[in-house]
Each structure stands twice: as C-alpha cells, then as structure tokens.
A and B are shown apart, each in its own frame.
Chain A
Amino acid sequence: MVTDKRPLSPHLQIYKPQLTSVLSITHRATGVALAIGTLLLVYWLVSAAAGEEAYHHAQIVLGSMLGQFFLFLWTWALFYHLSNGIRHLFWDAGYGFDLETAYRSGRWVIWTPVILTMLVWIVVAG
C-alpha cells in the first residue's frame, strides 16, 4: 500500500548524518553487498568441483584486476559486517547503549575492518 504525503523519518535531505546513523546504513549496505558477493563464492566452489580446466579459468577471472578489486571490497565488507554485527549483538543483549559507548564502539568498527583487510591482503600477497 503506497501512502505518500506522510512525513518520513529520518528525512534524508535535512537530516544531519551522524557516526551512528552512517555506520547503521553501512551495515545494511555491506549486508546486501555480501549477499550479492556470494555469487563469487558459488562460482569459485562450482569451478573447483567442475574440474581443473574450469578452476584454472576461475583463477584467471578472480585474479584479474576487476576480480581482485571486488575480492578486496568483499574482504572489507565482510570484516565490517562482522565487527558491526558483534556490536549489534551486544546491543541485543542490552549492553553499550549509552551515547559515549555507542560512539566508542562505533570508532572501533571503523578501524578494525580496515586493519584486518590490510592484514589479510598483505599476508596473501607476501
């Protein structure tokens, strides 16, 4: 049922973005991106099951610039969704709701995924 004309909250054009709201929508965005990214995971597994030739082809596709770019984004998205997901689980259990803690945990879930993503790619490249 479409019921326009009703006020929207938050009204995106006048709503000032805050750390908490930006992290919240990023959680959704990374969730959707990861769900679409499962296509890569399925492609990789099916290629491995299909045989050596198919797997070799998959390695070329995933090893290409574009493939590596998406895998890099996927790594970050996974670590972000994982870190912020743990933050959400603490909230679900009733902890960390006060403003100061919410902002402190928010800063943690900005940096943790960046550090973990770099760590993974440095180890893989090294």
Chain B
Amino acid sequence: MSLRTPLSRARGLGSAKEGTHHWWMQRVTAVALIPLSLWFVITLMTVVGEEHAKVVAWIAHPFNAVLLIAFLFATFYHASLGLQVVIEDYLHEEATKIGLLLFMKFAMVLLGAFAILAVLRIAIGGAHV
C-alpha cells in the first residue's frame, strides 16, 4: 500500500520534487546542441585567424549573435547538469560534495554570463570595434 496521496502520485515528482526534470533538460539541451555546436565549429573555421575587425563583425551580425547566445546558454546549462551528476556520483562526503556543487554551479552561471555579455557588448553595446 502506498502512503502517497493521489495528487502526489499523479504529479510524479518524487521525494526530491523534481521528477524527471534534470534528466529531461539534459536531453533537451543535448538535442539543441547538436545543430548549434556543429554550426559553431563550422562558422568558427571561417573566422579563425582573422583580424579583430572581421571577427567582431561576424559576432555582431544579428543571426550569428543570436545563435551564439543560444549555443552559450545551452552549453553552460548542459555542462552544469552533467558536472552535477559527475560530482554526485564520485563524491560521497557530504560537505565536500555540496561545496563543490555550489562552486561548480556558480562557476557555470558566471562563465555563461561573461560569455553572453561579451557577445551582447559586441552586438549591441558598442564595444570598441
């Protein structure tokens, strides 16, 4: 006999109240990253080694800027979910685990923010071009 209420069973969120959200978002970001990462590598090949003005012009193009931001958001979201699982799997000492999880989450948010701000500055913020 289950002690769960019918509502709780219907929601299917489990004791962590997250259900399959983590697993699902990792797949959603993975699917998004298939075309985005291929696009990133292929277009990066066209500007690698070019002078500053040309690279900045490439980033500033609205189409590239939007796809770059989408690529960066999906990358850091996906990385944060993936690293979380690795840390949870291999670190069993609670304080170390929580400490490293917090550090990793903060680092991923900050790195993502740095990268996206850099793109926005070039695209709309009037960075020295």
Contacts and interface: CB of A to CB of B under 8 A. Distances in A.
Q: Do A and B associate with each other?
A: yes
B93 A2 contact: yes
Contacts of B25: none
Interface string B30-65: 110110011001000100110011011001000000
Interface residues of A, number: 34
Contact of A38 (B38, B59, B76, B121): B76
Say whether chain B's binding surface is mostly helix, strand, loop, or mixed: helix
Contacts of B59: 45, 48
Contacts of B21: none
Contacts of B27: 89, 92
B66 interface: no
B101 interface: no
Q: Please classify the interface of chain A as helix (H, G, I), strand (E, B), loop, or mixed, using the class held by over half of its residues.
A: helix
Interface of B: 27, 30-31, 33-34, 37-38, 41, 45, 48-49, 52-53, 55-56, 59, 72, 75-76, 79, 82-83, 86, 92-94, 108, 111, 114-115, 117-119, 121-122, 127-128
Given A45-B59, A82-B34, A89-B27, 9 more contacts: A3-B92, A31-B86, A32-B83, A35-B79, A41-B72, A42-B111, A48-B122, A51-B52, A88-B30
